[in-house]
């Protein structure tokens, strides 16, 4: 038992930062609440950008929940989970791009006032979560995926507000569709970054450890 207390019986599981766990719980509830707000506002306003942002909030809530689950797991499992999350982020990007094309065909003009107010509320929520996650932005692939989701959300919220101004000024739904397209491309970009990071971690974990000089000498004898 003394060896275990000194670290000799390590299971390969990383220590769990209790502050990071609390931050993830806060982020989960904030995103779940904002999903409810934006899905209702998006349908009411006829805005594809708000609907896309609502789906993004739902995905992020699930993202934070998964991150909480894998906190105490071995690094290889955290990397595999990040790989799955990256694939999900890519699916979100494709969904948003497809929805934007559908709304372009319908020619809908959303309510600019609703877009602006809800976009600003969502920006405040994401900035608060981003401030809490800032210290963990350069962690492992799993932590990085959490940070990228929050960063992209804040960018998307600013874009939604700009789209609201565009819709209000032009009377056209094209600014809304343009922002939705940018959000979809951001999702694909973040997915690529997370998947690449996770695959690199998995390759490094699977690589055989270099033999020590003493072991090499024994082999020669």
Q: Are 130 and 157 in contact (CB under 8 A)?
A: no
SS3 173: coil
- The pLDDT score that the predictor gives to residue 8 is 36
pLDDT for 75 equals: 61
Angle at 89 between CA 85 and CA 94, to 5 degrees: 145
C-alpha span between 173 and 122 (Å, rounded): 21
Report how far residue 137's alpha carbon sits from residue 129's, in angstroms, rounded to the nearest whole number: 12
Cβ atoms 173, 108 nearer than 8 A: yes
Query: CA-to-CA distance for 133 and 27, rounded, in angstroms?
Result: 9
Residue 11: predicted pLDDT: 38
Whole-number CA gyration radius for the chain:
22
**pLDDT by 10s per residue, the chain, length 221:** 333 223 333 334 444 567 878 888 898 899 899 989 998 998 888 888 888 888 778 777 877 777 777 666 666 666 676 677 777 777 778 888 888 888 788 777 888 999 999 999 999 998 998 888 887 766 666 677 677 777 778 887 888 999 999 999 998 889 998 888 887 887 788 778 777 877 777 777 666 655 544 444 555 55
The phi, psi pair for 8, rounded to 5°, reads -70, -20
pLDDT of residue 94: 86
Query: Could you tell me the sign of the dihedral formed by the alpha carbons of 14, 17, 20, 25, in that order?
Result: positive
pLDDT for res 37: 93
pLDDT at 207: 67
Pick the closest to residue 206 from 88, 82, 74, 14 (CA basis): 74
Q: Phi and psi dihedrals of 6, rounded to 5?
A: -90, 0
pLDDT of residue 208: 65
pLDDT of the residue at 30? 92
Give the Cα separation of 119 and 67 in Å (integer): 26
The pLDDT value recorded for residue 122 is: 93
């Amino acid at each position: 038992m003394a060896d275990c207390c000194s670290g000799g019986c390590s299971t390969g599981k990383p220590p769990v930062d209790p502050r990071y766990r609390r931050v993830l719980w806060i982020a989960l509830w904030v995103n779940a609440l904002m999903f409810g707000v934006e899905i209702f506002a998006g349908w009411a306003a006829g805005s594809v950008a708000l609907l896309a942002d609502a789906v993004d909030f739902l995905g992020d809530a699930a993202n934070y929940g998964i991150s909480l689950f894998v906190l105490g797991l071995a690094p290889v499992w955290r990397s595999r989970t990040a790989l799955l999350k990256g694939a999900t982020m890519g699916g979100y990007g494709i969904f948003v791009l497809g929805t934007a094309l559908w709304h372009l065909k319908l020619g809908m003009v959303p309510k600019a006032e609703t877009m602006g107010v809800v976009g600003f509320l969502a920006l405040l929520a994401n900035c608060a979560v981003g401030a809490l996650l800032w210290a963990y932005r350069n962690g492992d692939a799993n932590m990085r995926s959490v940070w990228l989701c929050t960063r992209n959300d804040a960018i998307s919220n600013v874009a939604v507000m700009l789209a609201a101004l565009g819709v209000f000024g032009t009377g056209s739904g094209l600014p809304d569709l343009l922002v939705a397209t940018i959000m979809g491309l951001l999702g694909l970009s973040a997915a690529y970054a997370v998947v690449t990071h996770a695959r690199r971690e998995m390759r490094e974990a699977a690589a055989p450890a270099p033999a020590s000089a003493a072991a090499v000498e024994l082999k020669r004898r």
